[in-house]
Amino acid sequence: MSNLINNGVEAIRGEKGGMVEVSYKVKGEEVEVVVKDNGEGMSKDKVEKINMGEAVGTSKEMGHGIGMEQILKVVKELEGKMDVESKEGEGTEFRLRFKKVESPKWFADKIEIKKGSTVVVLDDDVLVHDIWKKKFKEYEKEIEAKYFSKCMEAIEFINSIEEKEKGKVLLLTDYEFKGQGINGIGLIEKTKMEDKHILVTNKYLSDIKEFKEKSDFLKTCQKCI
């Protein structure tokens, strides 16, 4: 994707400025990704070569040479397809199509929340709070959302809820908290939310060095289903 975007930027010339547009949509069992620019475009010969799976040389004057060999290689490895349309002086559009794959078992591709529930969002990045607020906006009459940046405040809030009411609570917690002396898994244990949480993180198992942390992380991810 970075190579395609760089190519689009390289193809934009002159004082008129330009735009590189990235979009995607799901069509049946395929995902289509489109990268479109309004740059200088490419010759018919170059377009034909790319559509036949041949890499083209770099042309700084026209763009669309950077990393094309790598792009074609990745598309092939992922068993995808790529089509290119281009008009000189008007722009270029790359369309990449890939087969849909099943989500990993540890990945929650949807969240089901019962009416009357309380959702506790814990993340030290307030931008993440904004994302959840937008997602929950249309459900604000059905559920109550609480937002925390500090682990201890979240722990105190959850532990103040009566045990019989805890079944109505869902915890959405980050894994890593800088300078707070605890991670998401430790927080889940302290609040006894083992069966009422989803770990929301970009942390990968391979990023974790300690064996116990790896084990706890994996067990927690498996419970996210």
The Cα 25–Cα 36 span in angstroms is 14
pLDDT of amino acid 57: 60
Query: Which helix or strand (DSSP H or E) is residue 31 part of?
Result: strand 30-37
Q: What percent of the chain has pLDDT over 70?
A: 89
Q: Which two tokens stand for residue 142?
A: 């059905």
Which is nearest to 53 in space by CA: 87, 76, 78? 76
**114-125: b (≥16 Cβ within 10 Å) or e:** eeebbbbbbbbe
Instruction: Report the number of secondary-structure helices (H) and strands (E) in the chain.
Output: 7, 8
The CB density around residue 165, as the number of other CB atoms within 10 Å, is 9
First to last CA, the chain: 30
Instruction: Identify the band that residue 225 occupies on the pLDDT scale cut at 50, 70 and 90.
Output: very low
pLDDT in tens, 134-176: 999 999 999 999 999 999 999 999 999 998 888 899 999 998 8
Q: Which two tokens stand for residue 109?
A: 């591709």
The pLDDT of 50-64, averaged and rounded, is 65
Helix, strand, or coil (residue 20)? strand
Cα angle 155-132-100, degrees, rounded to a multiple of 5 = 120
pLDDT of amino acid 53: 83
Amino acid (1-letter code) at residue 87: K
Q: Please count the CA atoms within 13 angstroms of the CA of 58 that sit on its side-chain side.
A: 9
pLDDT in tens, 17-49: 789 999 999 988 999 999 999 988 888 888 988
- Label residue 47 exposed, middle or buried (CB < 10 Å: 0-12, 13-18, 19+): buried
Q: What percent of the chain has pLDDT over 90?
A: 46
